[in-house]
Amino acid sequence: MIIRSLNLETVCGITSKLPENDKPEIAFAGKSNVGKSSLINALMNRKSFARTSATPGKTQTINFYNINDEMYLVDLPGYGYAKVSEKEKMKWGQMIESYLHNSKQLKAVFLLIDIRHEPSANDKMMYDWVVEQGYHPIIIATKLDKLKRSQVDKHVKMVKQGLNLIPGTRVIPFSAETKQGRDEIWELVETEFLEKKEVE
């Protein structure tokens, strides 16, 4: 994807109404700190257009990045962040669920899992729930640069087994440091989730 224009068009907090966009949306879910905002920056070829932080719980709103007036990358708050109150957690959960459940333009959900660790109970719950909503999530195994090359296959297998993925589900190892996996993700988005314009 050639990025010609970028705009953080909509920021939704717990009390805001979700936008009724008329262009395809691609959403990124995953636990706090897994690298959702970093992945979105990598896809946009920007270092810090989406705010990231070493401290979990950075993204607390649903952020819609308009790409080329053609589509949206949707950055979601992370789940499983221990430091917020139960009440707050519930509200975020409801906000994420409401978005995934109600968006008419949502074409694909990417679920991010840290490639170093076994998926958590929350990851599993999220995966199952997204599947229940009728999506076929694509898994991004993040922080690939933290593993030795020889460990990668074993860890991909661990992610597949840990989530009990539907056979055929794509798992794409990705690093925001080296950008490995970025082209594959764009390729997938462009070929499978964006409508092709008729060539005249």
> Interface residues with ligand GTP (CB under 6 A)?
30, 32-38, 52-54, 56-59, 77-78, 142-143, 145-146, 175-177
171 contact, one of Mg ion, ligand GTP, none, CB 5-8 Å limit per kind: none
Comparing CA positions, the residue from 90, 85, 35, 91 lying closest to residue 59 is: 35
CB of 198 to ligand GTP, least distance (A): 36
CB 98 within 8 A of CB 128: no
CB of 168 to ligand GTP, least distance (A): 25
One of 21, 33, 59, 142 touching Mg ion (CB under 5 A) = 59
For residue 142, state whether it binds Mg ion (rule: CB under 5 A): no
One of 25, 34, 58, 165 touching Mg ion (CB under 5 A) = 58
Distance (Å, whole) CA 13 – CA 147: 35
Distance (Å, whole) CA 6 – CA 15: 25
119 contact, one of ligand GTP, Mg ion, none, CB 5-8 Å limit per kind: none
> What's the angle, vertex CA 97, arms to CA 194 and CA 28, rounded to 5?
40
Residue 48: both structure tokens together:
């810090």
One of 10, 37, 41, 142 touching Mg ion (CB under 5 A) = 37
CB of 84 to Mg ion, least distance (A): 14
Alpha helices (H) along 26-120: 36-43, 86-102
CB of 161 to ligand GTP, least distance (A): 22
Residue span binding Mg ion (CB under 5 A) among the ranges 40-48, 57-65, 139-147, 157-165: 57-65
Please give the biggest Cα pair distance in the chain: 55
For residue 143, state whether it binds Mg ion (rule: CB under 5 A): no
For residue 41, state whether it binds Mg ion (rule: CB under 5 A): no
CB 174 within 8 A of CB 140: yes
Question: How long a stretch of residues is the chain?
Answer: 200
Residue span binding Mg ion (CB under 5 A) among the ranges 9-17, 29-37, 99-107, 150-158: 29-37
Distance (Å, whole) CA 12 – CA 84: 18
